[in-house]
Amino acid sequence: MYEAFLEASTKAKFATVFFLLGKMMFIGTALSMMISDTAAFISLSLYAFFIFGSIILCILDGLGKKKTYAELEKEISELKSKLSNETHN
């Protein structure tokens, strides 16, 4: 899992961090709803910012990686060969 994070693009890394920060904000948001309206508004705004930021960064990262059909077929065949080698070992 950590290796995948290291190999990811910068946008994907930021999206991961934003998503994790958003998920950590959830508990604070739920608790702040019981405290006051202002605290709830601020927490909910931060929560939404991190989650939507993560979604937008993922979409932008995906749109920036346009590959040809031949490149995709080559990657699929490489992955299949790696998987078949791992299952035989």
pLDDT in the model for residue 41: 92
> Is the predicted pLDDT of residue 36 greater than 80, yes or no?
yes
Provide, rounded to the nearest whole percent, the portion of the chain with pLDDT above 70.
Answer: 94
Which domain, by its residues, includes 58? 2-88
Specify the range with the lowest mean pLDDT, choosing from 2-6, 31-35, 59-63, 82-86.
2-6
Contact predicate 14/61, CB 8 Å: no
Residue 89: pLDDT over 80: no
Residue 19 amino acid letter? F
CB 5 within 8 A of CB 17: no
Q: Is 90 exceeded by the pLDDT of residue 5?
A: no
61: pLDDT strictly greater than 90: no
Query: Residue 30 to residues 2, 11, 13, 19, 56: CA-CA distances in angstroms?
Result: 30, 28, 26, 17, 24
CB 9 within 8 A of CB 61: yes
- Overall domain count for the chain: 1
